Chains A and B, each alone.
Chain A
Amino acid sequence: MIERYNLFLHEFSQEASKELQLFSIIAQSFFQPFSLLDNLLVIMTALTAGPGLGFNRAMLFLTEGDSLKGEFWLGPTSAAEAESIWRVLSTPGIGYPEIIEHNRSLLTSETDTLTKRVKKLSYLLYREQSLIPALTASARQMILVRDARNEPGVDRRFVETIGADEFLCIPLVSQKEVLGEIILDNAITKLPIRIRDLELASICGLFAGNYIYTAKLQKRIVDMKKVAAMGEMAMFVTHQLRNPLVMIGGFADQLLDPQIGEKKKKRNIQIIRSEIRRLEKILLRLSQFFRIDVREKVAVDVQDMLNLVQESVRARIAGRRITLDMEIEAGLRVILCDPTHVGEAIRNVLDNAVDAVGDEGRIDLRAYRENAEWAVIAVEDTGKGIPGAVKDKIFDSFVSTKERGMGLGLAYVKRVVDACGGRIEVKSAEGKGTTFKLYFQTQPRERRTRP
């Protein structure tokens, strides 16, 4: 016989202790989309979960370089408020999402004057004579303070701020660094802090340290990726700019030669002029790429937009044996998007199709409804197809198979379509052709669109 249970428990048996339930909620928080603040709040909630367990209030400090800075308080401000919070938290079946919501409402509440005062607290770490609370972080030890008012090792301002005489400081550490500190007290119930509470606090402190450490690592990875991407971009742009510069410099130098003939002079000036235009185009494309900012999607008439786009492409294929056909489904009138960027994006896809077919071939531009919600703008060509080696990289910026390509065309298309909430599908067979399908939201058939 086998019994199966959900790994993410929501209901606990009678025998399960309150601690067990709280640790289960903390453990489950690891599986939520990661948010450092939310996860720290869950831990702090666990520490302040009720009168029978743990503490009344929790305060968070985080380290920033060599200083320890106050962040916020979590906890009730009066006995009455405490009771109502504890009632909510002891409701059976309460889980991570409910706790998060509850905590967020606490943090944004206007009456939270204590947090404002806590934010003003800041201590330097690793001084010879660190006062509590800085001492905890410097020494990486839990410190329990009783009779704080008469304890010379405690910072006066701190005691005045929290207004409690007994409190526990827990350092938040990773393997190497001190990341912060949590301070707990029983200011509402005035109950003494017990060894059992201290044990619970130490485990929660380890969790919290781990959360902060993970968050810092994640940020570092994101930063590193950004730097790497910037490096790649800089390298590509350097190359793109250097070739025109060599030519401008070289042909300009030739112009200085007194022996240069009229014909060559004219040729050089023309080359220089065209290379300067090329530089300008590079800058234009770069600025266009970095300025995609779709604020509002509007209902755009598909026919109008595609007409404009295909006209400019027709001018490019004039004189070649390329057939460009456009077909728009009768039922499709509008899509929701940014007309300027999307028009430009479709022109990019069409330009690629023109490059792919070369001197002879067929390009079909079609727009149709996929279903009630989605419309498709498809560009199908009979060109050479996308080489297998670059198939996975076509949407990456600064990757190009073209001699003078910036590698921004499809990266731009993707960014625009993403910004409009759409998606892209690509099918390509080498030597046969490529189909790009751009999906955009449309308005349901029943609803009348804006005239």
Chain B
Amino acid sequence: MKKRLLIVEDERNLCLLYREELTKAGYKVTAVADADTALEQIKKQDFDLIVTDIRMPAKNGIELITQIMALRKDIPIIINTAYQSYKHDFMTWAADAYVVKSASLDELKSKIKELIG
């Protein structure tokens, strides 16, 4: 069975790119634009992995991670952000991987593969 990914990314076209590329890589992808919608989805269905941006309007990615942890859902999380510096925020340590956004999606794809196959 295909592994299920949840992508949280506020930029519409970036969401589109991730959905297409990761679907092509063999995953079943749900992409949402904000943290609250992500939480609704997580409560509704099981995911094998979550990829989230940090800087988003309204609730940011770090708050999202905290709330996912509060739900006691044991889902691997990859932080995917434009910033290096959030690595110093200890709440991002709760995530399983930290991938800085890049013009190539190779690193993101290989991290996902590493975590869930």
Contact = CB atoms under 8 A, between A and B. Distances in A.
Nearest to A249: B103
Contacts, number: 53
B63 interface: no
Interface string B101-112: 111110000000
Nearest to B105: A250
B85 interface: yes
B117 interface: no
A254 B104 CA distance: 11
A430 B17 CA distance: 36
Nearest to B81: A239
A379 to B, nearest CB: 23
A390 B111 CA distance: 36
B102 A401 contact: no
Contacts of A403: 10-11, 57
A249 B102 contact: yes
A243 B57 CA distance: 15
A242 B85 contact: no
B14 interface: yes
A250 B103 contact: yes
B57 A250 contact: no
Given A403-B10, A403-B57, A239 B83 contact: yes
Contact of B83 (A235, A245, A253, A402): A235
B11 A248 contact: no
Dominant SS among interface residues on chain A: helix
A251 interface: yes
A247 B55 CA distance: 17
B104 A243 contact: no
A249 to B, nearest CB: 3
A239 B14 CA distance: 14
Interface string B76-94: 0000011101000000000
Contact of B21 (A235, A238, A242, A250): A250
Nearest to A272: B13
B103 A246 contact: yes
B82 A242 contact: yes
A238 B82 contact: yes
B61 to A, nearest CB: 13
A271 interface: yes
A247 B13 contact: yes
A254 B20 contact: yes
A403 B83 CA distance: 15
Given A235-B83, A239-B83, A271 B13 contact: yes
A248 B82 contact: no
Given A246-B102, A248-B103, A238 B83 contact: yes
Contacts of B17: 246-247, 250-251, 254
A370 B102 CA distance: 52
Interface string A246-267: 1111110110000000000000
Given A246-B17, A254-B20, A271-B13, A239 B55 contact: yes
A235 B85 contact: yes
Contacts of A253: 104-105
A245 B65 CA distance: 26
A248 B14 CA distance: 10
Contacts of A402: 57
A249 B13 contact: no
B103 A243 contact: no
A238 B17 CA distance: 20
A238 B102 CA distance: 11
A246 B101 contact: yes
Contacts of A242: 82, 100-102
A240 to B, nearest CB: 8
B103 A245 contact: yes
- Taking each of B13, B21, B100, which has the highest tally of chain A beta carbons within 10 Å of its own beta carbon? B13
Contacts of B82: 238-239, 242-243
Given A242-B102, A247-B13, A250-B17, 13 more contacts: A238-B82, A238-B83, A242-B101, A246-B14, A246-B105, A247-B14, A248-B103, A249-B104, A250-B103, A253-B104, A254-B20, A271-B13, A403-B11
17 contacts: A239-B82, A239-B83, A242-B82, A242-B101, A242-B102, A245-B102, A246-B101, A246-B103, A246-B105, A247-B11, A247-B13, A249-B102, A249-B103, A249-B104, A250-B17, A250-B21, A402-B57
Question: Closest 10 A-B residue pairs measured CB to CB?
Answer: A249-B103, A242-B82, A239-B82, A250-B17, A242-B101, A246-B101, A245-B103, A247-B13, A271-B13, A403-B57
